[in-house]
Amino acid sequence: MDVLKPDICVIGAGSAGLSVAAAAAAFGVPVVLIENHKMGGDCLNTGCVPSKALLAAAKHAHAMRNSVAFGVTAGDVDIDFVKVRDHVRGVIASIAPIDSAERFTGLGVRVIKGHATFKDKRTVSVDGKIDIRARRFVIATGSTPALPPIPGLDQGPYLTNESIFDLDALPGHLAIIGGGPIGLELAQAFRRLGSAVTVCEAAKPLAKDDPECAAIVLNQLTREGITLRSGIKVTSVAYGAGKVTLTIESEKGEEKIHGTHLLVAAGRKPTADGLCLEAAGIRFDKSGIAVGKNLKTSNRRVYAIGDCAAGQLQLTHAANYHAGLVIRSALFRLPVKVNNDVIPWVTYTEPELAQTGLSEAEARKRGHTIRIMRWPYHDNDRAQAELMTHGHVKVITSAKGAILGVTIVGAQAGELITTWTLAIAQKLNIRAMTGIVVPYPTLSEIGKRAAIDYFTPSLTKPLLRRIIAWLRIFG
């Protein structure tokens, strides 16, 4: 049996694992990277990349149908779904070389394809053929779609994000279980491409987001013809004659929803099965691998990062953030601590919904005395020119102006949130956002106007008025 003794062994070649491997190799550290499936992980192959490519195609179809407001008549929109699918695959193929085994081998990473299992606290075996005894291990195995325990669900051909991008034909009626970001993004995409869409959600759609801002997204989805059923329970699923039937319970009693296809988008579960974590003394449960604020597991030589780590945000950029912390800790022995308050997240519907820092509810829960500033898109000149006037910026500050959190709902919210993420990470006061010079006309002016609104109440204070009047005496 071959025995390798690198400084770092990374298990999983998704976003988190690739980031660790690339950074360590760049510092000249011996690295072994183990992947049992596809390089690039979920993000490249079945998640972020294909979903955004599909959304882009759907956005073009929607723009053509609604171009008459600009004086442009496009005529009927014809959807060639096979070409849409090929577009999605083409985007994946164009990015894949960046994440390929060949590229990482060229960077100096030893890439091994196979299944990794822990033999003991310091050894990982790959398919029983190679033993790896590294100074540090990094588990970055990601997550997989979670399947709710619904009777009959596993008796037929349901879809998840791992299979929906392989469809050869557009669904006639797509039923979706799950009203989170994945479910709603795909709901809007398929609706704009021509499918009828029904979304079933046991709680509230976009429940983790600011409800005030989430309502704007949900209203838009409803206007586009998506049926949203919230506060209901799917009690059974039945398949037959090329169709799927969902039985639901609501306030009205039992109902049935008939569709041609079923997408399950009810969250994700950490991938930790089959690693033999017990042999390494690593604690884990159904929520993932237990880690401390420094991302170390109960085995001090082993880190867990990305989706497989319990209690962490399941986001690609969060995984990359984790990777940077691990490099600082493992290579330079620097103290690190995860701060989820500086990690933004975006739902890429139209309008987009972006959040960074604390929500209003979380800020109140932590005992902050807060102030809230809002500024609407419809008061922005660029938004008027583009006819993108739905939405607003919502800024949460402390009583003294420390920026605690921001939610943006509207066009390009995912781009606009970055400035606010930097402001929160750097602990800036709202005053800093009023002094920034932004180009005109741009949507970024909306954020500045919201910041200026913080000082509006002070303009009417009698003392300030008296000071101004006194200074006028001097001309």
Average pLDDT over residues 92-115: 98
Percentages helix, strand, coil for the chain, rounded to the nearest 5? 40, 25, 35
DSSP 14-64: SHHHHHHHHHHHHTT--EEEEESS-TTHHHHHTSHHHHHHHHHHHHHHHHH
pTM of the predicted model over 0.75:
yes
pLDDT recorded at residue 459: 61
For 182, residues 6+ apart whose C-beta sits below 8 A from its C-beta are 51, 161, 265
Cβ–Cβ under 8 Å, residues 251 and 229 = no
Average pLDDT on 237-266 reads 96
Q: Identify the pLDDT of residue 469.
A: 73
- 75 vs 107, residue with greater confidence: 107
- Which pLDDT value is given to residue 12? 98
Contact 290, 283 (CB under 8 A): yes
C-alpha–C-alpha distance, residues 49 and 185, integer Å = 13
With bands split at pLDDT 50, 70 and 90, how would you rate the model's confidence at 462?
confident
- Mean pLDDT for the stretch of residues 97-111: 97
For 2-145+269-340, give the CATH class. alpha beta
Just give the CATH number of 153-266.
3.50.50.60
Q: Fold match between 2-145+269-340 and 351-460? A: no
Instruction: Give pLDDT tens digits for 10-60.
Output: 999 999 999 999 999 999 999 999 999 999 999 999 999 999 999 999 999
- Quick one: which of 365, 433, 443 has its CA closest to 403? 433
Contact present, 408 and 417 (Cβ < 8 Å): yes
Over residues 453-474, mean pLDDT:
75
| Per-residue pLDDT reduced to its tens digit, 271-302 | 998 999 999 999 999 999 999 999 999 999 99
With vertex at residue 461, the alpha carbon angle to CA 455 and CA 462, rounded to the nearest 5 degrees, is 155
pLDDT at 380 over 70: yes
The CA-to-CA distance between both ends of the chain, in Å, stands at 90
pLDDT score recorded for residue 458: 65
Q: Which amino acid is at 65?
A: R
94-103, 166-175, 360-369, 466-475 — which is least confidently predicted? 466-475
Confidence of residue 475 (pLDDT cuts 50, 70, 90): low
Candidates 3.20.20.70, 3.30.70.1560, 3.30.390.30, 1.10.645.10; CATH matching 351-460: 3.30.390.30
Query: Amino acid identity of 42?
Result: D
Q: Is the pLDDT at 94 greater than 70, yes or no?
A: yes
pLDDT single digits (tens) 168-194: 999 999 999 999 999 999 999 999 999
Domain boundaries, the chain: 2-145+269-340, 153-266, 351-460
- What pLDDT sits at residue 74? 81
Pairing of strands 136-139, 302-304: parallel
Residue 353 is predicted with a pLDDT of 98
pLDDT tens digits, one per residue of 187-229:
999 999 999 999 999 999 999 999 999 999 999 999 999 999 9
Instruction: State the average pLDDT over residues 228-246.
Output: 96
Two structure tokens written together for 363: 């800020």
